[in-house]
Amino acid sequence: MTATTDGSGGALAPHPPAASDRITDHRPAPGDSAGLCTTALLTAQRSVEHLLGRQDPRGWWKGDLETNVTMDAEDLLLRQFLGVHDPKTTAAAAVFIRGEQREDGTWATFYGGPGELSTTVEAYVALRLAGDRPDELHMERAAAWIRARGGIAASRVFTRIWLALFGWWRWEDLPELPPELIYLPSWFPLNIYDFGCWARQTIVPLTVVSAERPVRPAPFALDELHTDRHRPNPPRPPSPATGWDGVFQHLDRLLHGYRRVAPRPLRRAAMNRAARWIIERQENDGCWGGIQPPAVYSLIALSLLGYDLDHPVMRAGLESLDRFAVWREGTAGPGDRREGPARMVEACQSPVWDTCLTVLALSDAGVPGDHPALVRAADWMLGEQITRPGDWAVRRPRLAPGGWAFEFHNDNYPDIDDTAEVVLALRRVRHPDPARVEEAVALAGNWTLGMQSKCGAWGAFDADNTGTFPNRLPFCDFGEVVDPPSADVTAHVVEMLAREGRAHHPRTRRAVEWLLSEQRPSGAWFGRWGVNHLYGTGAVVPALTAAGVPVSHPAIRRAVDWLVSVQNDDGGWGEDLRSYREESWIGRGVSTPSQTGWALLALLAAGERDGGAVARGVAFLTAAQREDGSWDEPYFTGTGFPWDFSINYHIYRQVFPLMALGRYVHGQLPAGRNGE
């Protein structure tokens, strides 16, 4: 097996063993509850050993964060634009991209999903940059599929921006994004703080790129990706829209007109101010927000404003992107191609999230609170607490900081979800310096309460980031650009507050009422940051019961009924990402360890430990475990943007089954503190 590293010096999990390495079916006979409990205990013990062996010496855990090949394609396009490409990186990226291509020539955004046009366009262009010829079979298949679906003209705005950088698309035919946007006050509609933090960090540098409209010489033409093979397809004029959509189409036309008359001193001042905004938000490791998209656009914007590659900001930014790379052994390529090492680019890295979830799972499985691994993890998490204001303070200027972020370095954008789970994890540890834990938890609790939105719920990064206008901009045709409250984040906060003895706090009770009002008629809850209703329901039911909602409450019983109704014949649970678009997929999909874990967490919290559904789910997990104590899961069960951007957290397949098995074997943990 081949180990990988995350770029920060820590070893990650080996690649999943082959199917022949699976352990034999050790499920007990039907009705043998004692035997099932014993088997579950042995399964949990193997999982504990596996996870303890994966901890970095500094205390954290981190699994690969797998998304789709647009990360790798855009990395190559960035290097081509800046003139910093090198043969080794290009070849290794091409190996990974080729390995993700489907039989029909397309690339998907999640495992088992349909081919996606923009992803396929970007992957094709990246392979052309790597030297793949358009007359090779795998390239011909991709180009034919692209043309059949409208060609480049039908791709999303962000894809056409990348192509415009090399003259493969006209800047004039893209929505306008003026840098003067940086001057809009925070109370004015469509100011940058009306956008979610991930969109805000991307849009500010893109205003500079949009104003400059750079074109670097293209190394080849892309005529084969247009519906007319002899010339680029002229852009189709947007169909006249009514209502707000029509208003924003008209606004885009006005902005195109403004570009011709914009005062040059004002525009130059706006771009310089955008540059200062970007540089002020660069993290200590050189990245921006700990995520890839703002980093690549910020580097392009700063380059256009005269920052050369030797400038410390640029040098640190490029070095940070290299730390997002995961290197793997190569696989057989198309035709007779001999492949070397493969290089996958993570969209971001998730050590804080992975560490707090792992601590919770190990604790659920019975690892004592003073175990050295848990103490090391607590020390590392305590050192990651953010005690200075970030962009969230624009809406909450008098709130003291105290949250945690998702990544290694992201002091500007702590998030409510990580903060809640870190507090829950810290309370499971018997730390030798309890006063230090108490101080950190107090800061985190107050910050979290202060980030509650007016409706009584919580979003991920900002309070009251609920505007509808940003989503209507012609520029925003990919993914979510606002951060409204969600059931899963709110549930994690409610559970944390309840464990902190604040179940009856007025803010907690408002959140409980909000959660009850958000339950779907089916009995499920929507999952914003995980797929999908299984994730939402798996978060909400434990939170409600922790907050004192009785298991006999109609909402809990409806949730139980829904979970039982969608259990698969093999005993597990699964939900396909298509459930975000098609109701027929809700609760349906191939059984996965992580989603089975979520369902079991809800059923156990609802008092269903001795029910048949729980027994079948536990049996599924014990049978699916591998010899080394791990589980395999190629399916994507994490969500960046519902449907548009999906994530396979490689740690999910390990921690959520262990949580469920631990709670099945040991029972629900009391609302105690400090590992007691």
Catalytic residue numbers? 417
DSSP labels for 503-561? Answer: TTSHHHHHHHHHHHHT--TTS----SSBSSHHHHHHHHHHHHHHTT--TTSHHHHHHHH
489-to-416, 479, 515 alpha-carbon distances in Å: 7, 19, 11
Side chain identity at 500, as an amino acid letter?
E
Question: Who contacts 87 (Cβ-Cβ below 8 Å, separation ≥6)?
Answer: none
Q: How many Cβ atoms are within 10 Å of 674's Cβ, its own excluded?
A: 15
Q: Cβ(452)–Cβ(446) under 8 Å? A: no
Q: Cβ(72)–Cβ(344) under 8 Å? A: yes
482 sits in the region (left: phi over 0; alpha: psi -120 to 50; else beta) called beta
Helix (H, G, I), strand (E, B), or coil: what is residue 367? coil
Query: Which two structure tokens, joined as six digits, stand for 628?
Result: 């080394």
Q: Cβ(90)–Cβ(108) under 8 Å? A: no
Q: Name residue, tokens 């046009």.
A: 117
494-to-342, 370, 402, 486, 503 alpha-carbon distances in Å: 42, 26, 17, 12, 8
Residues, the chain: 676
Q: Name residue, tokens 């930014």.
A: 317
- By DSSP bridging, strand 325-328 and strand 638-641 are unpaired
DSSP labels for 348-360? Answer: B--HHHHHHHHHH
C-alpha angle with apex 56: 53 to 61, nearest 5 degrees?
85
Query: Which two structure tokens, joined as six digits, stand for 644?
Result: 């548009």
C-alpha 362/C-alpha 366 separation (Å) is 7
Q: How many Cβ atoms are within 10 Å of 21's Cβ, its own excluded?
A: 13
- Beta-bridged to residue 282, according to DSSP, are 288
Q: Cβ(373)–Cβ(352) under 8 Å? A: no
C-alpha 591/C-alpha 624 separation (Å) is 10
DSSP labels for 307-362? Answer: --TTSHHHHHHHHHHHTTEEEE-----STTPPP--EEEE-SB--HHHHHHHHHHHH
Side chain identity at 162, as an amino acid letter?
W
349 sits in the region (left: phi over 0; alpha: psi -120 to 50; else beta) called beta
C-alpha angle with apex 474: 643 to 526, nearest 5 degrees?
25
C-alpha angle with apex 625: 621 to 626, nearest 5 degrees?
170
C-alpha 285/C-alpha 318 separation (Å) is 10
